[in-house]
Structure 1
Amino acid sequence: MQWDLPRPYIWTVTVEPQHVDGLHHANNAEYVRWCERAGWAHSVELGLDVTNYQGLDRGMAIRHAEYDYILAARDGDQLLFGTWLTKVDGRLNMTRQFQVFRAADEALILRAQWQMVCIELSSGKAKRMPEIFKEIYCPAVISAEAESD
């Protein structure tokens, strides 16, 4: 795979019949769900899950998302979702990138990026990140400069 950044967190999924739409390929909405699952899996691997968010009354919410659908995936294709945190400002904002390849031929299927903001779950208002978010997420940031490592 030609990952855009080094050391991706990789999450895999196999396209199943329920993911396929009338155009005979994985429906675009499935990629949104899969990116969410890959992002959560990465967060859990780093040490923060939804119960931590609930206990802290804080969470990272998507405020802007971009998806670049490059090639279609079909029933039976295994997809490799690479994801990275590429920015954590330590106050409110975080950026996550995704890149998706088809395992069989290493074809690039999708690129995506999320801009996230820390919110207070009980009110939905933007609030500063708790220290634990900074302690866990900041060291996980991978930047384009890291590519030369």
Structure 2
Amino acid sequence: MKLQIPDADVLWDSLSALRRFELTLTVEAGDLDDLAHVNNTVYLAWCERVARDHALHLGMGTQALLEAGAVPVARQHVIDYHRPAVLGDRVRVRTALTRHAGVRSVRAYALDRINPGDPPEGVRLAECQTEWVWVDPVSGRPKRAPAGVSAAFGFSG
């Protein structure tokens, strides 16, 4: 399935607090490539970081998920880059759980520069979407997320 990146701004306002999370980072020298821009792999690492922080915030870190009997593994990442980030930029990284059905979940991410002087909504740097597949941590086979895990992330049933 080719993922279509939804409008992260619309999603953010329409989802419950359990299904969204954000963090703010400052671009450091180690984030830069040879062109003095944030390297594309760093954007993906930031997306993974905000997803992990979100799970931890909800009490659903790796250990809790292992104990529950299902863990998410990435199946596909799609990233659209709009503008580069540079040393010292402040970047707001948002994630929103947009879909959760069967053995699959989808997270959308929005990465915005929020430096002094930027518009209140920030300047869009990139958007990402990841399709996650829930698997049994012992067998590695696809498995539905347990109801308690789904509920913790703001999904019923």
**Match for residue 17 of structure 1?**
29
1:55 alignment partner, one of 67, 72, 75: 67
Q: Is the 8 A contact 1:88 1:138 kept in 2?
A: no
2:113 alignment partner, one of 90, 98, 102: 102
**Match for residue 3 of structure 2?**
none
Residues 1:120 and 2:136 aligned together: yes
Q: Is the 8 A contact 2:27 2:88 kept in 1?
A: yes
Percentage of matched positions with identical amino acids? 27
State the aligned residue count.
Answer: 138
The alignment yields a C-alpha RMSD, in angstroms, of 1.7
Q: Distance in 1 between matches of 2:149 and 2:66?
A: 13
Unmatched runs of 5 consecutive residues or more in structure 1? 141-149
TM-score, structure 2 length as denominator?
Answer: 0.81
Unmatched runs of 5 consecutive residues or more in structure 2? 1-7
Residues 58-81 of structure 1 show CA distances to partners (whole Å, capped at 9, x for unaligned) of 201111110111100001111001
Q: Distance in 1 between matches of 2:73 and 2:154?
A: 17
TM-score, structure 1 length as denominator?
Answer: 0.85
Q: Which amino acid aligns with 2:144?
A: R
Moved over 6 A (4+): none
**Match for residue 42 of structure 2?**
30
